[in-house]
């Protein structure tokens, strides 16, 4: 049994980590750190995590990391201050170590660049080998996961023009974190959809462009939807010259044929956030818009699952040589 500590356990991502880890057959949570919530129990912070309810939340002390593996689930720009104190393997759910370009980090996050770790999106070609050989892994962002899974095989194969990517994606309110905020009050969110961070300023843009490569250029408009969890992304791009639209479906099928967490839906079915709620899966479907000459790929994930905690555990399983699917739900929760 591998002992595990969760640093930053008071937020939604930390709570989802604890929920999934509580039922993992090979990983056992023995330490939970959240400085502002020290002295409370897991049950007080996350009442739904019943089997860990009595575990005490403590202050993080660099010399007292008595576990085999650590997950960091801290707000962006906070993980870097703890990384040097960890000698264990670690997966960081924050953004601190995702980007290669220090100037891109400063532009979108406004602080000093802490460095770059192995990027933990296992479904990318060759990435599992890198993750398995790594002691430090940067978990992808939630929007970045949904968009990259939809576009990466097509960009790599040259089937679409990566310089003309347009994405509109809606996320649930948990994507904004657990800190109180007027725009996230129920009366502000209920019965409406709101655009935010419009005009190329969303922090996942450089991450997505970096991961896709091939000169990718992204116009991204995120939306806040009246739901707690989930992401539905619509990714469009011009079909490359001379490409038969049927090649799009063939490419996605070949890329994800053996991926346990990717669902390519039947021709008459389109992704919905309800399909992936509570899971580590991504649901994909595509179409060719002949009128506009553009490929459309829709992607649905749970932003707390495949977009955060589930993917972090998937990465940990690979790093530790465990079965990749261990502890990760494939079937969703409905209604």
pLDDT-based confidence at residue 176 (cuts at 50, 70, 90): confident
Query: Which CATH number is associated with domain 2-116?
Result: 3.40.50.720
The H-or-E segment that residue 186 falls in is helix 186-189
Could you list the beta-strand ranges (E) of the chain: 2-7, 27-33, 57-58, 69-72, 90-92, 118-119, 136-138, 165-171, 194-195, 218-224, 231-238, 262-264, 282-289, 294-301
pTM more than 0.75 = yes
Contact 139, 122 (CB under 8 A): no
Local structure of 245: helix, strand or coil: coil
Q: Would you call 298 a catalytic residue per the annotation?
A: no
Using alpha carbons, list the distances in angstroms from residue 164 to 72, 167, 210.
35, 10, 15
**66-124: per-residue pLDDT in tens?**
999 999 999 999 999 999 999 999 999 999 999 999 999 999 999 999 999 999 999 99
Q: What is the 3-state secondary structure (H, E, C) of 96-133?
A: CCCCCCHHHHHHHHCCCCCCCCEECCCCCCCHHHHHHC
**6-53: per-residue pLDDT in tens?**
999 999 999 999 999 999 999 999 999 999 899 999 999 999 999 999
Selection from 84, 87, 85, 110 nearest residue 95 by Cα: 110
Q: May I ask the CATH class of domain 142-303?
A: alpha beta
pLDDT at 179: 78
The chain-wide mean pLDDT, for the chain, equals 96
Same fold, 2-116 and 142-303: no
**282-303: per-residue pLDDT in tens?**
999 999 999 999 999 999 999 9
Could you list the beta-strand ranges (E) of 174-267: 194-195, 218-224, 231-238, 262-264
The H-or-E segment that residue 144 falls in is helix 142-156
Q: Which of 22, 65, 70, 142 is catalytic?
A: 142
The H-or-E segment that residue 210 falls in is helix 205-212
Residue boundaries of the structural domains of the chain: 2-116, 142-303
């Amino acid at each position: 049994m591998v002992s595990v500590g969760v640093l930053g356990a008071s937020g939604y991502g930390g709570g989802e980590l604890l929920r999934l880890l509580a039922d993992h057959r090979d990983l056992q949570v023995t330490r939970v750190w959240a400085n502002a919530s020290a002295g409370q129990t897991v049950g007080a912070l996350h009442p739904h995590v019943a089997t860990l309810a009595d575990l005490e939340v403590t202050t993080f002390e660099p010399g007292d990391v008595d576990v085999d593996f650590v997950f960091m689930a801290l707000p962006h720009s906070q993980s870097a201050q703890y990384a040097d104190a960890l000698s264990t393997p670690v997966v960081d759910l924050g953004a601190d170590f995702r980007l290669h370009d220090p100037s891109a980090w400063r532009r979108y996050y406004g602080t000093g660049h802490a460095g770059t770790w192995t990027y933990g999106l296992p479904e990318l070609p060759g990435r599992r080998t890198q993750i398995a050989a790594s002691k430090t892994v940067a978990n992808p962002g939630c929007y970045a996961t949904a968009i990259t899974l939809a576009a990466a095989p097509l960009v790599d194969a040259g089937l679409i023009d990566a310089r003309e990517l347009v994405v509109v994606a809606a996320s649930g309110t948990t994507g904004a974190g657990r800190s109180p905020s007027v725009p996230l009050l129920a009366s502000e969110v209920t019965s409406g959809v709101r655009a935010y961070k419009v005009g190329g300023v969303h922090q996942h843009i450089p991450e997505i462009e970096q991961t896709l490569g091939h000169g990718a250029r992204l116009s991204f408009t995120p939306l806040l939807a009246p739901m707690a969890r989930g992401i539905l992304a619509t990714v469009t791009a011009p079909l490359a010259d001379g490409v038969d639209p049927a090649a799009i479906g063939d490419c996605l099928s070949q890329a994800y044929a053996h991926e346990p967490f990717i669902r390519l839906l039947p021709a008459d079915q389109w992704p919905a956030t309800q399909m992936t709620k509570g899971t580590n899966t991504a649901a994909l479907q595509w179409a060719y818009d002949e009128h506009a000459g553009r490929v459309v790929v829709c992607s649905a994930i749970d932003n707390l699952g495949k977009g955060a905690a589930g993917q972090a555990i998937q990465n940990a399983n690979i790093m530790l040589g465990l079965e990749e699917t261990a502890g990760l739900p494939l079937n969703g929760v409905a209604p």
